[in-house]
């Protein structure tokens, strides 16, 4: 098992260095967002190549991981294409000058690789398990599918709102019931992967959905976004007063 982790870490490091090299040419690190889901695919495929335990669970999960990754990478790449560096990375850049272009190798790219290693724990556990297909697996797969569909619809509704040059706040569709339905969908996806991996007996996999939940709520998701969004979106404060932050819920009257 240790050998597989070492091999995965090596492959993720190589991909991180490639992404960093691209940033030296473009002078922009935003493409690391598009790399995120590919890190996960690399980790899982590397584990599967080493074990070749192509159980029903692994085949189903591989299919869902590829769909999840393709959608997220395409969405972020299209959204960020031709844009200046994301404001999050501009702040990190300004706080780490001089020589951010070199520091970004570990601050941005290797850091993402390390996060991906932890987030991939349920997938690595699955790649090392041939436990019988069970009802728990079916429940987990159902949650994953629902989560992917939920975040896809949320992102589509947001894209239509932005492309329509609407002012104010998106408060219709899934966004009527949660201020961050796309994050809630991602939350479901990773708890679903953990549920499928539960019967493998690899208890360490629980750190994946816990870390993802923290990232979504505190580190790079809701916490960071909501610290500045009120100033950028007129009416957001009022919207926040009657709309659930994360878990979908009927709005307050």
- Pick from 112, 130, 148: which residue ends a domain? 130
- CA atoms of 1 and 51, how far apart (whole Å): 10
- CA atoms of 234 and 161, how far apart (whole Å): 15
Whether residue 182 is found in the same domain as residue 207:
yes
Whether residue 112 is found in the same domain as residue 43:
yes
Strand ranges (E), the chain: none
Whether residue 154 is found in the same domain as residue 181:
yes
- CA atoms of 233 and 224, how far apart (whole Å): 15
Domain count, the chain: 2
Whether residue 126 is found in the same domain as residue 3:
yes
From first to last of its 253 residues, what are the pLDDT tens digits of the chain? Answer: 789 999 999 999 999 999 999 999 999 999 999 999 999 999 999 999 999 888 899 999 999 999 999 999 999 999 999 889 988 899 999 999 999 999 999 999 999 999 999 999 999 999 999 888 899 999 999 999 999 999 999 999 999 998 887 778 899 999 999 999 999 999 999 999 999 999 998 999 999 999 999 999 988 778 777 766 766 677 888 898 899 999 999 998 7
**Which residues constitute the domain of residue 226?**
133-253
Whether residue 230 is found in the same domain as residue 120:
no
Burial string for 150-171 (b: 16+ CB within 10 Å, else e) reads: bbbebbebbeebeeeeeeebbb
Whether residue 138 is found in the same domain as residue 124:
no
Q: What is the pTM of this model?
A: 0.93
Whether residue 12 is found in the same domain as residue 125:
yes
- CA atoms of 65 and 8, how far apart (whole Å): 16
């Amino acid at each position: 098992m240790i050998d597989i982790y070492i091999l995965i870490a090596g492959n993720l490091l190589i991909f991180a260095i490639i992404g960093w090299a691209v940033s030296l040419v473009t002078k922009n690190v935003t493409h690391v967002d598009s790399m995120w889901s590919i890190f996960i695919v690399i980790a899982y495929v590397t584990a599967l190549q080493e074990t070749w335990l192509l159980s029903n669970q692994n085949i189903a999960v591989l299919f869902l991981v590829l769909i999840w990754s393709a959608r997220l990478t395409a969405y972020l790449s299209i959204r960020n294409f031709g844009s200046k560096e994301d404001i999050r990375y501009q702040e990190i850049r300004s706080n780490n000058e001089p020589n951010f272009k070199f520091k970004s190798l570990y601050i941005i790219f290797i850091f993402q690789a390390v996060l991906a290693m932890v987030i991939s724990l349920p997938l690595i556990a699955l790649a090392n398990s041939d436990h019988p297909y069970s009802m728990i697996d079916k429940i987990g797969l159902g949650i994953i599918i629902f989560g992917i569909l939920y975040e896809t619809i949320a992102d589509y509704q947001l894209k239509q709102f932005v492309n329509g040059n609407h002012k104010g706040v998106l408060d219709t569709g899934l966004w009527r019931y949660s201020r961050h339905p796309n994050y809630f969908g991602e939350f479901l996806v990773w708890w679903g992967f953990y549920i499928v991996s539960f019967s493998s007996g690899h208890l360490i996999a629980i750190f994946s959905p816990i870390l993802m939940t923290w990232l979504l709520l505190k580190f790079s998701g809701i916490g960071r976004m909501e610290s500045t969004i009120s100033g950028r979106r007129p009416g957001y404060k009022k919207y926040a007063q009657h709309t659930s932050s994360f878990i979908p819920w009927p709005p307050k009257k």
